Amino acid sequence: MARTRAGRQGKTKQGRTHETELREVVTRLLTLLGEDPTRNGLEKTPERVEKALRFMTQGYKQNIDHLLNEALFPLEYYERVIVKDIDFFSMCVPSKQLVNAVEGAKPAYLVKPGDRLWTLDRGYAKQTTVTQVTSRKTRAVVEVKTDRGKFRVTPDHPIMTGTGWQEAQNLEPGTQVEWTNPKSLCRERYGAKPGYALGYALGATAADGSIQDGRRICLVVKKQDFADKYRKMLAQAFPPLEPTVERVLVPSGFLKKTIPMYRVRVVARDIAEKFCRWLAVLEQGARSKPTVFQFPKVVTASQEMMQGFWDGYCDGDGTVAGKARFIISANQPFLAELANYLETPVSKAANGDGCGRVYVSPRWAQAGWFNKHGFRQQREFYVPEESMYATVVGVRHLPPSKKPFTVYSFKCDPYPTFLIAGHLTHNCEHHMLPFFGRCHVGYLPRKKVVGLSKIPRIVDMFSRRLQVQERLTVQIAEAIQDKLKPAGVGVVVEARHLCMMMRGVEKQNTIAVTSSMLGAFRTQQQTREEFLKLIRRGGAGDPD
C-alpha cells in the first residue's frame, strides 16, 4: 500500500520526484551539447523542458473511454460526418500583431529571415537577427492587456514576468511583465558608469534638482562651483555626454526681482528614465524638485558611489561640519531608509519647518565603529537600464472566428527572445521540435454518433505523445472505428515538421500528408473521393 501511495505521488525510491529526475536529464543533455546550463537564459530551461514534455505528452494519461464520457448518442443517421481543420499547437504570433523590428514596428507576417528585431538582455535593449520564420493556422489566440498596451499571441506563448517565463494564458491581473517603451528603442543611449561621479549626480539631483516629464534633468543653483562640479560628474557618469553650465535669471517671489543663477540641463530621456527608476520617481508630471523619492540602493554597489551620494546631496541640501555631514530633507520615508542603512536615528532639523536630518559620520563606512556594520553592499550595479515592468490588467481568449488566424514563429540569433509591443517574449529555444498542421476526420455512422467536440479531443489525446505522423493517423482512425463501430472512417493529417525545417534538409515548405481509410472509406472509391474532395483546400500553415 505504501508503495502505491508513493507511486501516486510521483516519488522514486530515494524520495526524489520524477520531475526532478527529468530536469536533471535535461541539464545533462545541455552539458553534452556543449552548453552551460547555468548561463543566463538557460537556468530555467530544464524546468521548462520538463513542463513542456509533460504538456506535450499528456495524451499518455488520457483514456479514450473517459474522454468520450457518455458522448455517444443513438441516432438514425447514415450520411458521412466530417470534422475538418483540427489544428495542432505551437508558440506563435498572429500575422497582424506588431513586432518591434529595428527598422520600425512591422506586422508578424512581414518579418523575414535576416530582419533584425529588438529584444532585452538583462534590462538592456539589444538587437537579434531572425534566422527562420515558420507559420501555421489556428483559432486559439489570447489578447494580453497591460497598463502599457496590449498584444495578441497563442495561449502557450512565453512572456517574461518578474518571476520568470509564463505562458500567456496563465498570466493573471497584477502580474509584472518586463517591458520597454517601443517608441524609445531607436534613441541615443548612454551607458551609466558606476562610481563616485554617478553617486554624486544622483545625490545632487535628489537634493536640489528636478526630473521633468521623464526626459529632462535640471539643476538651478546660486553657486557656480556647485554647478560646475555637477556638470563634470554627469559627464563622467554618462560618457560621451557633454552638458554645459548656463547663466540664467530666475524670478524670486520673496525678493520681488530676478536673481542670477547657474543652470545645468540635460535633455536625454535615456538618462532621465534611469534617474526615475533609481529614485523611484514618477516619469510624468515632475517639473520641480522631487519631494517624494526613495533612497537609491543602487549607490550601495560600492563605497565610492555611496560617498559620492553623500557629497552630492550635502552640496545641494545639507550641511557640513568638519568631515561629518548632515542630510536634511522633508521627505521622511527617504530619511527613514537612510537612517536604517546607517544605523542612526532621524532627528529634527534646526530650522524647525518639519524637516528632519540624518547624521553621516566621517567613519560611516568603518565596520565595527559603535557596533555598526559600516559600508554594506545591498545591490550589485544592475538595474534594468532600458526595461521596466508593465502590469497585466487582463487576459482574454478571443472568440473563434470563421477564418483561422495565421500565426508565425521566429527563430532568432544570438538572442532567442524578441519584443511584441515592447513586451519581452520568447520562442521555442527550450522545447522539442514538434510537427504541426491540420487533421481531417470523417466517418459514416451506424445508428450511433459522437459529440463533435470529442473528435478534436481524440486528436489531441494521440498527438500529445512522442509520435510519428503515420502512427498518429492510424491511431485516430482505429480509436474511432473501435468505439463508434461506424461503416467507415477516414483520417487525413497534413503537417509541417520542424525537424525538417530547422535541421537536416532544412526545407521550409515541405508538407507531409498521411491518411488512414477503414471500412467503406477504403472499399468504396466514391465514398473515399467525396471525403477527399470535401477536405481539399490549402495545405497546413499556408498564409491567408
Q: Up-side HSE of residue 146: CA atoms within 13 Å toward CB?
A: 25
Can you spell out the DSSP letters for 251-308? EETTTTEEEEEEEEEEE-HHHHHHHHHHHT--SSS--S--SS----GGGGG-HHHHHH
Catalytic site residue from 430, 439, 475, 494? 430
Catalytic site residue from 157, 423, 426, 431? 431
CB contact set of 415 (below 8 Å; sequence gap of 6+): 41, 119, 121, 126, 128
Helix then strand then coil, in percent of the chain rounded to 5, is 30, 30, 40
Residue matched to cell numbers 524637516:
355
Closest CA to 134 of 353, 398, 428: 428
499 catalytic? Reply is yes
Catalytic site residue from 307, 469, 475, 481? 469
Helix (H, G, I), strand (E, B) or coil at 487: coil
CB contact set of 540 (below 8 Å; sequence gap of 6+): 136, 137, 436, 437, 438, 494, 495, 496, 511
469 catalytic? Reply is yes
The span from the CA of 437 to the CA of 511, in Å, is 9
Let me know if 33 is exposed, middle or buried by CB neighbors in 10 A (0-12, 13-18, 19+).
exposed
The span from the CA of 516 to the CA of 534, in Å, is 16
Q: How many helices (H) and strands (E) does the chain have?
A: 14, 28
Q: Is the dihedral of CA 107, 113, 114, 119 positive or negative?
A: positive
Catalytic site residue from 429, 478, 524, 530? 429
Beta strands at 209-212 and 245-252: parallel, antiparallel or unpaired: unpaired
157 catalytic? Reply is no
CB contact set of 310 (below 8 Å; sequence gap of 6+): 203, 325, 327, 360, 364
Residue matched to cell numbers 530551461:
45
The grid cell for 533 is: 474532395
166 catalytic? Reply is no
Catalytic site residue from 157, 423, 440, 497? 497
Q: How far is CA 515 from CA 100, 119, 390, in A?
A: 41, 42, 47
The residues pairing with 250 across neighbouring beta strands, listed in sequence order, are: 259
**Letter for the amino acid at 420?**
I
- Helix (H), strand (E) at residue 317: helix 303-317
Q: Up-side HSE of residue 504: CA atoms within 13 Å toward CB?
A: 10
Residues identified as active-site: 428-431, 469, 497, 499
